[in-house]
Amino acid sequence: MDGFVNAEVADGICTVTFFHPASNSLPGDILSKLAKTIHSAGLDLDTRVIVLKSSGERAFDELLALKNETEGLEFFSGFANVINAIRTCPKFVIGRVQGKAVGGGVGLAAAVDHCFATKHASVKLSELAIGIGPFVVGPAIERKVGTSGFSQLSIDATAWKTASWAAQYGLYADVFESTEEMDDAVSRLATQLASSSPEAMKELKKVLWNGTDDWGDKLKALAQISGRLILGDFSKEAIHSFKK
């Protein structure tokens, strides 16, 4: 099955589902479609709230294929574009994480306005282990978990943090025993928000994201750092080792 991004609207709730057959993979084309879909949902008059979900569980092949800094910038800008699409969307975005999240997946969990997870949704920022760093997703993650939590995740790049840890630090609003329980909570909150004042939610989102107006340029500059570092010998060798 190929990767995809789908959006379905019902009763004021736009459910955006993304998938790629490679575990934990978010390649460039999926990120581009995801950013555009979220932007479109934000403009849709029939949509009051957005639910973002993955129907799958490392885009190493794409990283190895990068040949210059321009291509590197374009690849890592994909994450920047999705985060900024969520940030600038005038509607709340609810996230749900059913399994382990790595790197960019952690960044998306941090970027949504409210995130639910199951007990299986451990997190890890593995970027340093392949010679780069969680630069692009860093501002979104640090905004949610604070400097202490972000430093723990980014420095110890091979260690998993449990879903309970992520909830304790504010990445997850709540953690559930099962996917069914989580989806019940997602449905309840989405339904509640779909009947709330669109104007009030729009203004509240502005307040909650106050101080991030420079992220359009900031995240692109951070993407440039990753795009340069990924071309180094250390990163190439590390990625080959991961693939093996």
| DSSP per-residue string spanning 46-91 | T-SEEEEEES----HHHHHH--SHHHHHHHHHHHHHHHHHHHH-SS
User: In this structure, is residue 153 part of a structural domain?
Assistant: yes
Does any domain span residue 184? no
Q: 3-class SS at 2?
A: coil
Task: Enumerate residues 6+ apart whose C-beta is below 8 A from 227.
Answer: 66, 69, 70, 71, 72, 73, 74, 75, 76
Task: For residue 135, report the phi and psi dihedrals to the nearest 5 degrees.
Answer: -70, -50
For residue 244, what pLDDT band results from cuts at 50, 70 and 90? low
Tally of structural domains, the chain: 1
Residue 209 inside a domain? The answer is: yes
Sign of CA dihedral 69, 75, 80, 81: positive
Which helix H or strand E contains 241, and what residues bound it? helix 233-243
The per-residue pLDDT for range 13-39, each reduced to its tens digit, is 999 998 876 654 567 788 899 999 999
Give 105 or 174, the one with higher predicted confidence.
174
pLDDT of residue 59: 46
On the question of pLDDT at 65 being above 70, the answer is no
User: Mean pLDDT, to the nearest integer, of 208-218?
Assistant: 97
Residue 137 maps to a domain: yes
pLDDT score at 116: 98
Residue 142 resides in a domain: yes
- How many whole angstroms separate alpha carbon 204 and alpha carbon 135? 27
pLDDT confidence of residue 72: 81
What's the mean pLDDT in 144-173?
Answer: 97
- Determine the 3-state secondary structure of 118 from DSSP: strand
Residue 196 has pLDDT above 50, yes or no: yes
Give percent of the chain above pLDDT 90: 74
pLDDT of residue 24: 46
> Is the pLDDT assigned to residue 3 strictly greater than 90?
no
Higher per-residue pLDDT: 209 or 67: 209
Give burial (CB, 10 Å; 0-12/13-18/19+) of 89: buried
Cβ atoms < 10 Å from Cβ of 173: 16
> In this structure, is residue 183 part of a structural domain?
no
CATH number of the domain encompassing residue 53: 3.90.226.10
In this predicted structure, the answer to whether residue 60 has a pLDDT above a threshold of 50 is no
Average pLDDT on 43-50 reads 97
Predicted local confidence at residue 26, as pLDDT: 64
Cα–Cα distances in Å, from 63 out to 132, 178, 187? 11, 34, 36
pLDDT of 158 strictly over 80: yes
Give the per-residue pLDDT at 22.
Answer: 61
List the domain range (segments joined by +) for residue 170. Answer: 4-178+189-243
Whether 193 maps to a domain, the answer reads: yes
pTM of the predicted protein model: 0.91
**For residue 47, what pLDDT is reported?**
98
Nearest of 241, 226, 207 to residue 125 by alpha carbon: 226
Q: What is the pLDDT of residue 238?
A: 84
pLDDT score of 239: 80
